[in-house]
């Protein structure tokens, strides 16, 4: 019951690096050079709770939407398929690349 009432609190503006990562996940060809720690940092900044689940899976809760994302285990770099899953999750959670810029101006 408490999880349903939880609202993310965003205090600071998104850094250029996080904003670029968010934009690259949504637009153009997906990069093959994105590290999991960058994705996790971006999700946390957006207000998500990211916690280990089973093995290389992480449970993510953002805007009341629960998802499970796979962290790369043989390398720190996310595959294009893993980044597509991140994009699909962000869409389901109501996040868009222009959301942060529009809300901060």
How many structural domains does the chain have?
1
Range of the domain at 99: 16-104
Domain-located, residue 23: yes
2-36 confidence digits (pLDDT tens): 444 444 444 457 788 888 899 999 987 888 889 99
Specify the pLDDT at position 12. Answer: 56
pLDDT in tens, 29-83: 888 889 999 999 999 999 999 999 988 899 999 999 999 999 988 889 999 999 9
Distance CA 49, CA 46 (A): 9
Q: Which residues contact 79 (CB under 8 A, 6 or more apart)?
A: 32, 72
Q: Give residue 100's pLDDT.
A: 47
pLDDT at 98: 73
Whether residue 86 has pLDDT greater than 50: yes
**CATH number of the domain encompassing residue 65:** 3.30.160
4 within a domain of the structure (yes/no): no
């Amino acid at each position: 019951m408490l999880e349903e009432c939880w609202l993310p609190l965003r205090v600071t503006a998104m850094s250029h690096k996080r904003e670029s990562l968010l934009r690259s996940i949504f637009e153009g060809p997906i990069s093959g050079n994105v590290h999991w720690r960058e994705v996790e940092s971006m999700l946390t900044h957006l207000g998500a709770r990211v916690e280990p689940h089973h093995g290389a899976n992480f449970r993510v809760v953002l805007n009341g939407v629960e998802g499970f994302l796979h962290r790369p285990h043989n390398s720190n770099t996310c595959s294009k398929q893993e980044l597509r899953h991140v994009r699909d999750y962000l869409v389901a959670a109501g996040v868009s690349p222009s959301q942060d810029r529009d809300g901060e101006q």
